[in-house]
């Protein structure tokens, strides 16, 4: 997949996620799905957009990204920090933060030399090689996963009401 195609997938998944969360009323936005509410999920993605910029710079220096050093189970420690840091309960404010952080990430990724996307800088985690490309792929998948999670939950709640 070309870099441009990967960036389009990131934009599409972000846009789909944004539309999904925008469709929720304020009550649903703040209602827990499991341990997280849609609000918490947005805060998590705002943070990961920004973490990826810093992490990509660390990868380029041959360093393990800070979020992989002691992430906790399923990145629970890292994500808990983000849910607290982006603490607004206002849906529009958090969605604006999502757009801003996504724009920062897109600008950063577009500024990279194409050769940096797949370059092996010698960074390993859990036996896998970490590249900028596979880090972006994980974020793309995260947007998709969380949108699907919210849609399923939202549709189930509507049937129950």
pLDDT > 60? residue 161: no
Q: For position 101, what pLDDT does the model report?
A: 98
In percent, the amount of the chain with pLDDT more than 90 equals: 88
Q: How far is it, in rounded angstroms, from Cα 62 to Cα 120?
A: 9
Looking at residue 126, its pLDDT comes to 87
Computed over every residue of the chain, the mean pLDDT equals: 94
Is residue 11 within 8 A of residue 106, CB to CB? The reply is yes
Question: In whole angstroms, what separates CA 52 from the centre of its chain?
Answer: 8
Cα 3 to Cα 111: distance, rounded to the nearest angstrom:
12
pLDDT at 158: 63
Which residue, 106, 95, 99, 110, is CA-closest to 21? 95
Structure tokens at 27: 């009550």
Structure-token pair, residue 161? 């009401």
At the fourth CATH level, the homologous superfamily of domain 3-160 is dinb family like domain (1.20.120.450)
pLDDT band at 159 (very low <50, low <70, confident <90, very high): low
What is the pLDDT at residue 43? Answer: 98
d(CA 139, CA 53) in angstroms, rounded, equals 12
Residue ranges of domains in the chain: 3-160
- pLDDT classification of 157: cutoffs 50, 70, 90: confident
pLDDT, one tens digit per residue, over 81-113 is 999 999 999 999 999 999 999 999 999 999 999
Q: How confident is the model at residue 70 (pLDDT cuts 50, 70, 90)?
A: confident
Query: 0.75 exceeded by the pTM?
Result: yes
């Amino acid at each position: 997949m070309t870099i441009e195609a990967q960036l389009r997938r990131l934009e599409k998944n972000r846009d789909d996620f944004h539309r999904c969360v925008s469709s929720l009323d304020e009550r649903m936005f703040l209602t827990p799905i499991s341990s997280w509410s849609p609000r918490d999920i947005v805060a998590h993605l705002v943070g990961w957009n920004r973490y990826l910029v810093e992490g990509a710079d660390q990868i380029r220096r041959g360093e393990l990204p800070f979020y992989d050093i002691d992430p906790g189970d399923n990145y629970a420690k890292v994500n808990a920090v983000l849910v607290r840091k982006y603490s607004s309960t206002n849906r529009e404010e958090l969605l604006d933060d999502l757009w801003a952080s996504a724009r920062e990430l897109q600008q950063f990724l577009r500024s990279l030399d194409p050769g940096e996307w797949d370059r092996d800088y010698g960074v390993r985690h859990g036996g896998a090689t970490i590249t900028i490309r596979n880090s972006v792929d994980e974020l793309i998948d995260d947007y998709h996963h969380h949108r699907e999670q919210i849609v399923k939950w939202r549709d189930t709640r509507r049937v129950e009401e």
